[in-house]
């Protein structure tokens, strides 16, 4: 049996940021939308806000005046839920409290038809828990939109233990008909996006805790890897209170699994009122002339003339390093040698080494290889690299004074803008992306969603340049597991344990 929701009359409860957005999108798709809010006048205010937003679109020529008026005429603020007994679907976007949501759905069950679908836009509460106690819990499903609703394509369709699959399929089809990209997910803490995204913030916070670098350098490196915003900028934008609350809720909901442990750095900021943009100060200062981040620019002289340069390793990064080294050495009339069979990727420059991170610290690698003049560099973006690609590097503690200036000089000659980090294993991009992949692997292992679903969700829900499984395909499960194991050996704890899914994939390839 399929449930047909297209063009039906719909009720949105809660006329705040999300409810107004959902009402607008539903009306645009042709539904008559009844809009209710417990606060008197809030639904009418929401309609006025929608009107203002549409006027701006009309002024920009993105919508005709007629289309805006038609859309608006389909939205009807109502003063009592009793006026909505004939709707086929209710979408709830009220305050994020289990008791309130449960109470609302129990009240609605007494009013609407037994076939009416009940959807919740909760971002963190278990859909199974909200359904518990309903007369017909099978008709309750999560429909998790992202803010701003008219612009964000992703909808997580969340099934709890009770959810009838035909109900989940019906709201999946409805979201598609609204021009969204729905992804099925099980009701687990954080669903897909809020769970997989945790390491994006956590790894930078961990680096800040151990004073590996300052926010502008970390943000620059992460942005150079293709992310639209750096983690510090993004936490400032989201608000540290909100971001900390989501991390805490995922941590608690996972029985205090250390992998999700919140950061002391962020708690201190929240307690101090450094909430980010909204309070004028977070990692950066805002307002007046203090906006944004400034990255200190270090200029490096050309490296000293070398006697031998050998590019080690295989794959796209080694190939691109060879090209970059050839260009750097061209004025001297010679080029690098190549050793494609090496187990490491990077450059041997006379007796020194510039090595792509494999998760070991530079000092550890230098000791193991007996090469004191060693620096590790972070995982760059897939080549071709833009000029001045910010790239983190760390020097071995054993490195000579000369190598301390030669390593960044070589990275500059190769076309990068080197950013010095303390000798933290996995630097910033490599460890962050590895942990995003690892979390996604566990999500798939636990049947929360498919790899394709995880990729779509992360690209559309938080604008990642690639999905975790796309990164994995370009990197290799064996290499990602090796990096996580090296981090695990360094930090000793639960945080960096590799997902059994990933370990299995590593054995297969």
Answer yes or no: are the C-beta atoms of 344 and 312 closer than 8 Å.
yes
Residue 121 binding ligand NAD, by CB under 6 A? yes
Euclidean distance between the first and final Cα of the chain, in Å? 42
Residue closer to ligand NAD by CB (options 58, 229) is 229
Residues within window 69-98 making contact with ligand NAD, judged by CB under 6 A: 93-96
Other CB atoms within 10 Å distance of the CB of residue 238:
19
| C-alpha–C-alpha distance, residues 436 and 499, integer Å | 11
Binding segment toward ligand NAD, per CB under 6 A, in 38-46, 438-446, 477-485, 488-496: 38-46
Residue 37 binding ligand NAD, by CB under 6 A? yes
Residue 16 binding ligand NAD, by CB under 6 A? yes
| C-alpha–C-alpha distance, residues 64 and 82, integer Å | 34
User: Is 509 noted as a catalytic residue in this protein?
Assistant: no
Residue 229 binding ligand NAD, by CB under 6 A? no
Catalytic: which of 194, 243, 361, 499? 194
x/- letters, 132..151, toward ligand NAD (CB under 6 A)? -------------x-x----
Catalytic: which of 76, 92, 109, 123? 123
Binding segment toward ligand NAD, per CB under 6 A, in 34-42, 111-119, 367-375, 445-453: 34-42
Tell me which of 33, 42, 141, 246 binds ligand NAD, using CB under 6 A: 42
User: Is 194 noted as a catalytic residue in this protein?
Assistant: yes
Q: Which residue number has the CB closest to ligand NAD?
A: 16
| C-alpha–C-alpha distance, residues 134 and 120, integer Å | 14
At its nearest, how many Å lie between ligand NAD and the CB of residue 233? 17
User: Is 144 noted as a catalytic residue in this protein?
Assistant: yes
| C-alpha–C-alpha distance, residues 3 and 403, integer Å | 68
Strand order in 140-145's β-sheet?
75-77, 33-36, 10-13, 89-92, 117-120, 140-145, 154-159, 181-186
Contact residues for 256 (Cβ-Cβ < 8 A; gap 6+): none
Residue 17 binding ligand NAD, by CB under 6 A? yes
Cα angle for residues 78, 81, 85 (degrees, 5° grid): 105
- The conformation of residue 358, written as its DSSP 8-state character, comes to -
Residue closer to ligand NAD by CB (options 142, 336) is 142
Residue 15 binding ligand NAD, by CB under 6 A? yes
Measured CA distances, 316 to 311, 319, 328, 340 (Å) = 12, 5, 18, 11
Residue closer to ligand NAD by CB (options 156, 364) is 156
Catalytic: which of 8, 76, 92, 144? 144
Residue 392 binding ligand NAD, by CB under 6 A? no
User: Is 389 noted as a catalytic residue in this protein?
Assistant: no
Cα angle for residues 142, 144, 149 (degrees, 5° grid): 145
Answer yes or no: are the C-beta atoms of 425 and 453 closer than 8 Å.
no
Catalytic residues: 123, 144, 156, 194
Positions that interact with ligand NAD (CB under 6 A): 13-19, 37-39, 42, 93-96, 100, 104, 121-123, 145, 147
């Amino acid at each position: 049996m399929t449930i047909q929701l297209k063009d039906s009359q719909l009720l949105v409860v809660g006329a705040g940021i999300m409810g107004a957005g959902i009402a607008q999108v539903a009306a645009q798709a042709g539904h008559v939308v009844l809009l209710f809010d417990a606060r008197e006048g809030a639904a009418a205010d929401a309609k006025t806000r929608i009107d203002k937003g549409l006027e701006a679109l009309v002024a920009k020529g993105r919508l005709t005046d007629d289309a805006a008026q038609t859309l608006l005429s389909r939205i009807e603020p109502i003063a009592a839920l009793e006026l909505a007994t004939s709707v086929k679907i209710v979408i709830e976007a009220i305050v994020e409290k289990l008791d309130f949501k449960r109470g609302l759905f129990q009240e609605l069950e007494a009013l609407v038809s037994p076939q009416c679908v009940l959807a919740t836009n909760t971002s963190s509460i278990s859909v199974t828990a909200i359904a518990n106690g309903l007369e017909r819990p099978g008709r309750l499903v999560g429909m998790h939109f992202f803010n701003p609703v008219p612009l964000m394509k992703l909808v997580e369709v969340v099934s709890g233990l009770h959810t009838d699959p035909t109900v989940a399929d019906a709201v999946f089809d409805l979201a598609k008909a609204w021009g969204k990209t729905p992804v099925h997910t099980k009701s687990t803490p954080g669903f897909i996006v809020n769970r997989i995204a945790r390491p994006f913030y956590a790894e930078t916070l961990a680096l800040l805790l151990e004073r590996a670098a300052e926010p502008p350098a970390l943000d620059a490196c992460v942005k150079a890897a293709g992310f639209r915003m750096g983690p510090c900028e993004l936490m400032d934008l989201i608000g540290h209170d909100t971001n900390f609350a989501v991390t805490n809720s995922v941590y608690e909901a996972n029985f205090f699994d250390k992998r999700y442990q919140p950061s002391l750095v962020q708690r201190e900021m929240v307690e101090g009122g450094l909430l980010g943009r909204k309070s004028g100060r977070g990692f950066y200062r805002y307002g007046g002339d203090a906006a944004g981040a400034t990255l200190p620019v270090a200029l490096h002289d050309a490296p000293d003339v070398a006697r031998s340069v050998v590019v080690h390793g295989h794959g796209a990064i080694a190939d691109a390093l060879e090209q970059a080294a050839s260009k750097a050495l061209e004025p001297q009339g010679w080029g690098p040698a190549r050793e494609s069979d090496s187990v490491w990727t990077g450059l041997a420059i006379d007796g020194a080494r510039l090595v792509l991170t494999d998760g070991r610290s530079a000092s550890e690698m230098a000791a193991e290889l007996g090469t004191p003049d060693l620096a590790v560099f972070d995982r760059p973006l897939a080549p071709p690299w833009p000029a001045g690609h910010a790239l983190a590097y760390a020097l071995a503690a054993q490195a000579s004074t000369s190598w301390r200036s030669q390593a960044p000089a070589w990275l500059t000659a190769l076309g990068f803008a080197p950013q010095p980090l303390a000798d933290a294993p996995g630097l910033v991009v490599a460890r962050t992306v590895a942990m995003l992949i690892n979390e996604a692997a566990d999500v798939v292992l636990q049947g929360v969603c498919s790899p394709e679903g995880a990729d779509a969700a992360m690209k559309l829900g938080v604008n990642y340049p690639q999905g975790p499984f796309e990164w994995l395909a370009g990197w290799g499960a064996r290499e990602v597991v090796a990096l996580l194991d090296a981090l695990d050996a360094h930090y000793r704890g639960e945080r960096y344990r590799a997902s059994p899914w990933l370990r299995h994939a590593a054995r297969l390839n």
